Amino acid sequence: MTGEAARLASILRNRGMIKRGNYMLHLGNSSEYYVDLRALPSYPDDFDEVTSALARLLSEEVGGFDRLVGIGDGAAPLTVAVSLKLQKPYAIVKKMEAENSFRDPLLGELRAGERAILLDDVASTGVTLACAASIVRALGARVDTAVVLVDRDLGARELLSTLGIRLRSLISLSEILGGAQRSP
């Protein structure tokens, strides 16, 4: 694990964002661990450090792109922070949830043919990211990369790769828990 990943792991652990217990996840799955990063923007210094790491990953490893697309309100703070750091346009795509209306799936705009990078806090099964990718593509933008803070290693990487999307993460749950090495 890199020094940066170790530092991120300690921030997330110290702020109580990795919870142990029996939690119901989306789609009726349950898990022993619950990763909740929604409180991260409540700690300005930590939030700055984490979003700076995201901005670095995007500018050094993802190549030229036109727009960041955050998934739902949960990803809005991350997306806005990185947008301001890199001075790149952003949009927020609504999450696929039964209670949302889809009259307007987007906050902001997308332009035809532009390269959009999906951004979310956590990747689990990848279903949420895959839904968002199909909305963004239907609106005319290109999607080949998704970036998350934490990859839970629950299949998102594989699902997204079948859609031609490469998943990048700052850290995996197993790294945070002090387990196996991050997969490349």
Partner 1 sequence: MCGLETKLWAEKKSVLSKELATILVGLGALKFGDFVLSSGRRSPYYIDLRLLPSYPSALERIAEMYVEVLENEVGLGNLKVAGIPTAGLPLATAVSLRARLPLIYVRETPKLHGEMKMIEGALSRGDTVVLIDDLVTTGGSLLKAAEAIRASGGRVEHAVVLIDREEGGSENLARAGIRLHAVSKISELLSWLESAGGLPSDKAELVRAYLRGVGRS
The count of residues interacting with partner 1 (CB under 8 A) is 37
Q: Does 74 bind partner 1 (CB under 8 A)?
A: yes
Q: Which stretch binds partner 1 (CB under 8 A): 1-9, 84-92, 129-137, 143-151?
A: 84-92
Helix (H) or strand (E) holding 93: strand 90-93
| Complex with partner 1: residue 88 or 182, whichever CB lies closer | 88
Helix (H) or strand (E) holding 13: helix 3-14
The residue among 77, 91, 86, 167 whose CA lies nearest residue 128 is: 167
Q: Which stretch binds partner 1 (CB under 8 A): 102-110, 132-140, 156-164, 166-174?
A: 102-110
Distance, C-alpha 133 to centroid of its chain: 12
Q: Does 39 bind partner 1 (CB under 8 A)?
A: yes
- Shortest Å distance, C-beta 96 to partner 1: 13
| Ranges of H-type helices in 15-155 | 44-61, 72-86, 127-138
Enumerate residues 6+ apart whose C-beta is below 8 A from 56: none
Q: Does 138 bind partner 1 (CB under 8 A)?
A: no
Q: Which stretch binds partner 1 (CB under 8 A): 40-48, 136-144, 159-167, 174-182?
A: 40-48
| Complex with partner 1: residue 67 or 157, whichever CB lies closer | 67
The structure tokens 């699902």 sit at 159
Helix (H) or strand (E) holding 117: strand 115-123
Q: Which residues bind partner 1 (CB under 8 A)?
A: 23-26, 34, 36, 38-39, 41-45, 47-48, 67, 73-74, 76-77, 79-81, 83-84, 87-92, 94, 97, 99, 107-109
